[in-house]
Chains A and B, each alone.
Chain A
Amino acid sequence: MAATNTTPRAVRQRAREHFQNSRRRRGLLVAFEGPDGSGKTTQRKLFKTWLQAEDYEVVSTKWNSSDLIKPLIKSRKTVRALNPEEFSLLHAADFRHRVEHVILPALWAGKLVIADRFLFTGLARDVARGLDLDWVLKLYQPLVWPDLVFYFSVSPVTSGKRVTATRMPNYYEAGQDVTAVDDPVESYQRFISRVIREYESLALIFNFITVDAEQSIVEQHHQIRDLFREGVRRPWCEWNVDAVAEWLALSGQQR
């Protein structure tokens, strides 16, 4: 049996060839981003159902959901033990673990991954907590770029109304660790305004597709379908080669 060439250059080449092979349907990554209460989850579910009807094999992944890191974060959030750096680093660790164990394996297998929040959530929240954008962005390297990022845009007031209509925002969700405001609702309003400001900047920098999340659910869904049909023809993003190559080298598989 011929030995596989495992030099960094050869691994990168294998990554490129795999994703640029036009004879098979390549893996696609679609991210849904936006503040709490913007309706992302509803749209993600509708989108997933539609994609499955279109014969896509779909994998969903949510923010802060890795089996390994999530429990570490949860226990520390419960006792309000995290400062902004710790909060940021632990979420980056959770994301990295999901990239290596959920996202890249699914993409490699030609599946469509829907991410309900992606690294931009980390960027928007961490910068809103006063951390440096460049420092946070580099934590997420090597970067995995989605084929499409849908940004669900709502005003801070709408976000606040929708979130507080059914429940009280929790300590970190309300940003009480940085606002020093005792009332969670008031704190949420202040914090989400900062988060939305960061999202708006990120939407420009990273060319998100903005969906007006104040529209009806049906209107948004149809808009997403149309935008997906246009966006899906984009070529594979060469920037992803570092992340894929590192994952291939780590997993050591003859994929």
Chain B
Amino acid sequence: MRRAQAILISVDGVNGAAVKATAREALRAIGRARRGGISVWDASGLFEELAVADEEAGTPSPRTLLLLFAADLAFRLRWEIEPALAEGKVVIAAPYIETAVAFGRATGISAGWLANLFGFAPRPGDRRYIDTAPPRAVSDREGFVEFCSERVAGTPTALTRQQLLDRTRIQLQIAARRARGR
């Protein structure tokens, strides 16, 4: 019997709630037998713990946050994504690499460093980009970039919270255009 083809679908965007909603919608469109689930960021709980760290421990830089995102992604790959792909299922990663790369580029980190950082992660078979602005209320913000913008902004960086979100969104629009051109 021929085995169904495993597919990794990435859903990336600045608005965490919109990314999750899109992922849920995409999952519903897949036949029940092929559903491998949705892998969301912070499955490892790293950021949840970071959020309650003492202020005196210091504010993480964008680079530190990206290293933590990569560690969390390694965890998601090991426990959620790769096992489902091995069973020939369709897995949705929401968000995946592009969101983190866009945040890194928005903060001035080189594309080369980011490419190396995520070099261990497989390429998605299908990419989706969600170009929705973050909600106004901070309490409704649940995405990786929204989380980081809250932490990085407020320190004396050159960028405000809103600028960080806007710049990341622009980087994702560029990535989406590039993906469409492929």
Q: Contacting B57 at CB < 8 Å: which of A68, A86, A250?
A: A68
Shortest C-beta distance, A101 to chain B (Å), equals 4
Question: When each residue 83-96 of chain A gets 1 if its CB lies under 8 Å from chain B and 0 otherwise, what string results?
Answer: 10110011011001
Q: Is A232 an interface residue (CB 8 A)?
A: no
Decide if B50 touches A68 in the complex (CB within 8 Å). Answer: yes
Residues of B that sit less than 8 Å from A by CB:
44, 46, 49-50, 53-54, 56-58, 60-64, 67-68, 70-71, 74-75, 78, 108, 113, 116-117, 119-120, 155-158
Q: Identify whether the interface residues of B are mostly helix, strand, loop, or mixed.
A: helix
Decide if B74 touches A67 in the complex (CB within 8 Å). Answer: no
For the complex of A and B, list the 9 residue pairs with the smallest distance between their C-beta atoms, beginning with the closest: A252-B156, A67-B57, A93-B67, A89-B71, A68-B57, A85-B74, A138-B116, A101-B58, A86-B74
Residue of A whose beta carbon sits closest to that of B65: A93
- Distance in angstroms between the alpha carbons of A139 and B71 in the assembled complex: 12
Q: Is A100 an interface residue (CB 8 A)?
A: yes
Q: 13 additional contacts, CB 8 Å, given A96-B63, A246-B63?
A: A71-B49, A83-B74, A85-B120, A86-B71, A86-B74, A86-B78, A89-B68, A89-B71, A93-B67, A135-B119, A250-B61, A251-B156, A252-B158
Q: Is A72 an interface residue (CB 8 A)?
A: yes
- Distance in angstroms between the alpha carbons of A209 and B156 in the assembled complex: 39
Q: Is A216 an interface residue (CB 8 A)?
A: no
Decide if B49 touches A72 in the complex (CB within 8 Å). Answer: yes
9 sampled A-B residue pairs with Cβ under 8 A: A86-B78, A93-B67, A93-B71, A97-B64, A100-B58, A135-B120, A249-B108, A250-B155, A252-B156
- Distance in angstroms between the alpha carbons of A243 and B61 in the assembled complex: 13
Shortest C-beta distance, B28 to chain A (Å), equals 31
Decide if B60 touches A139 in the complex (CB within 8 Å). Answer: no
Decide if A72 touches B50 in the complex (CB within 8 Å). Answer: yes
Question: When each residue 165-194 of chain A gets 1 if its CB lies under 8 Å from chain B and 0 otherwise, what string results?
Answer: 000000000000000000000000000000
Residue of B whose beta carbon sits closest to that of A93: B67
Residue of B whose beta carbon sits closest to that of A102: B58
Shortest C-beta distance, A254 to chain B (Å), equals 10
Decide if B67 touches A89 in the complex (CB within 8 Å). Answer: yes
Residue of B whose beta carbon sits closest to that of A252: B156
User: Which residues of A are found within 8 Å of B58, using beta-carbon distances?
Assistant: 66-68, 97, 100-101
Q: Is A22 an interface residue (CB 8 A)?
A: no
User: Which residues of A are found within 8 Å of B63, using beta-carbon distances?
Assistant: 96, 246
Question: When each residue 223-255 of chain A gets 1 if its CB lies under 8 Å from chain B and 0 otherwise, what string results?
Answer: 000000000000000000000001001111100
Decide if A139 touches B116 in the complex (CB within 8 Å). Answer: yes
